[in-house]
Chain A
């Protein structure tokens, strides 16, 4: 089953300095994630889940340790290179959707491609397909404010897919949604996983975690235990 670790972290440490005191948000984490797997990260508040996801998403740098994506060391990349990695290989889904208010649904989906120098006119078809995939084919010209939370999150999912990323990272993507809409979003994630996408999702809900293959429990900045779901 080993298709090669797409994410490989070793001794990952993150220390936040707050004046004199230091917060060890991550205290030496080792983790491998296989391509095409669906991983849920759980744990109490403040255990370092978001910190880890931010580093996985190249939004933040570790204080120590190494991080390889698809065999490539990304620990010491400069800011521009990290931007490239984010833009080309990672799809983000945030708890608070993080759509750009003044852009339409279609334009929001297009943003990652914009920063790869691709014009909307050239990839409108692709973006539309993704909008249809998340069930918003009729809403292309709507603004985020005109959509429900669930719809906004689905736009975010479409956006996270637009650059055909190596992995999709979600930090509590259902956190702001009621259970029914949350389930719809999770169904969508299941379909993506079935289609071969690698998904790493931080979550608080057991219902959510049940859908994943692996559940990683964190505690005080370290991996406490791991559960593998067998269905």
Chain B
């Protein structure tokens, strides 16, 4: 039998005839270009957003359960008897030391329980005053919340036992209070009490943005913290806290603001959360606490991401199919337009499959070319978006491959019909056409 045409020659033939109609070829590719580009860019931005969310959640620890005191919603709003009563007597709510004890005693699999009081007040150093959060807590706070000691040391057990008047401040607070002096030699003042600065810390990784849910937004930076021993906080501040809000004073009695229960392993977390809730419900008439389970949030975030990937995938599929139909449309027109050429080639010895290949190559070149351009744009676009809007975008290794693979597949699928139409024409019929 005779030799057949080398494949690369037919490919060259296809590319050559595409180059003959450059504008048309580019316009035809646009659908695929946009499709592929948007798939990659959307996936990258979605991936970036969910990465940030997951990091924030992971920061809280996947073996942790966080319980926070929340000011309960008052029945009839702020007006009426409840409003006036809360002004006269201190409103009491939140997690108690007893709650902490009960949880620690009854729940199996607990590694440790970290209690914290969070008080908003002003810290002073000489003439400088600055609003900040005073966090009364245990030494293990540093480990559980992954604080990085920049200088000095964190709170120790001794500080707790002797109710030492010592404090650890965050780096940003240190900069503000002591711009020119060494903070470790200085004292800070809250109310009437002085605390010796013993260390400077920095939060590692992404900061946990929410602190005290009931606390509203007083407007001080979240990273301005003063850590003191819990025992010290108890003796200095007592249980009643005065909050200034909108010109009126409000007294609140809150024993503990936050309780972090760290379990031995993440798989204990879900059942532990249920049990903790059961314990708390028994002793709290009103819902004056909230429970945050980072692990569950993480699972939800992952589920949400899976869903959004499905949605993105569908949009991608549709846009690529639309692009493919565009290509098919043009190729059908091309076949009609070039019927004569097909007839001539057939008369001069081209087999059906040579014609099929020639036209299929054109479609595949269009879609693969569009796919490649789309991949390049799709990789560039997230960087532009990140630069402009400070969003995080992560291009996963598989998304360009997927987008590119689908575009190539679209080329073959939508190219087969026009190509076979071209080949099935009888040579004389084709030659007779003008």
Contact = CB atoms under 8 A, between A and B. Distances in A.
Residue among A86, A88, A99, A163 with most chain B CB within 10 A: A86
A92 B351 contact: no
Which of A88, A116, A163 has the most B CB atoms < 10 Å from its CB?
A116
Contacts of B76: none
Given A59-B428, A117-B3, A79 B350 contact: no
A163 to B, nearest CB: 8
Q: Chain B: interface secondary structure?
A: helix
A59 B346 CA distance: 9
B224 to A, nearest CB: 73
Interface stretch (B4-12, B215-223, B252-260, B298-306): B4-12
Contact of B340 (A87, A98, A117, A163): A98
B77 interface: no
Nearest to B16: A102
Contact of A94 (B2, B4, B345, B431): B431
Nearest to A94: B431
B2 A116 contact: yes
A54 B348 contact: no
Given A79-B352, A88-B2, A102-B20, A115 B345 contact: yes
B354 to A, nearest CB: 6
A112 interface: yes
A84 B1 contact: yes
A86 B2 CA distance: 12
B348 A87 contact: yes
A164 interface: no
Given A80-B351, A112-B349, A117 B20 contact: no
Interface string A80-110: 1001101110001010001111100000000
Interface string B1-37: 1111110010000001100100000000000000000
B347 interface: yes
Contacts of A94: 431
B103 interface: no
Interface in B386-425: none
Given A83-B346, A98-B347, A119 B9 contact: yes
Contacts of B351: 79-80, 83-84, 115
Contact of A115 (B17, B20, B349, B428): B349
A99 to B, nearest CB: 8
Interface residues of B, number: 28
Given A59-B427, A100-B341, A102-B17, A115 B348 contact: yes
Nearest to B5: A117
B149 interface: no
A54 B2 CA distance: 23
B428 A54 contact: yes
Contacts of A115: 5, 345, 348-351, 354
B344 interface: yes
Interface in A47-97: 54, 57, 59-60, 79-80, 83-84, 86-88, 92, 94
A159 B428 contact: no
Contact of A60 (B4, B344, B428): B428
A111 interface: yes
Interface string A107-133: 000011011111100000000000000
Contacts of B349: 83-84, 86-88, 112, 115-116, 163
A72 to B, nearest CB: 14
A117 B343 CA distance: 19
Contacts of A99: 344
A59 B345 CA distance: 12
Contacts of B6: 117, 119
A159 B4 CA distance: 19
Nearest to B430: A59
B420 to A, nearest CB: 13
29 contacts: A59-B347, A79-B352, A80-B351, A80-B352, A84-B1, A86-B346, A86-B348, A87-B2, A87-B350, A92-B347, A92-B348, A94-B431, A98-B431, A100-B345, A102-B16, A111-B348, A112-B349, A114-B5, A115-B5, A115-B349, A115-B350, A115-B351, A117-B2, A117-B4, A117-B5, A117-B6, A117-B9, A118-B3, A159-B348
Interface of B: 1-6, 9, 16-17, 20, 340-341, 343-354, 426-428, 431
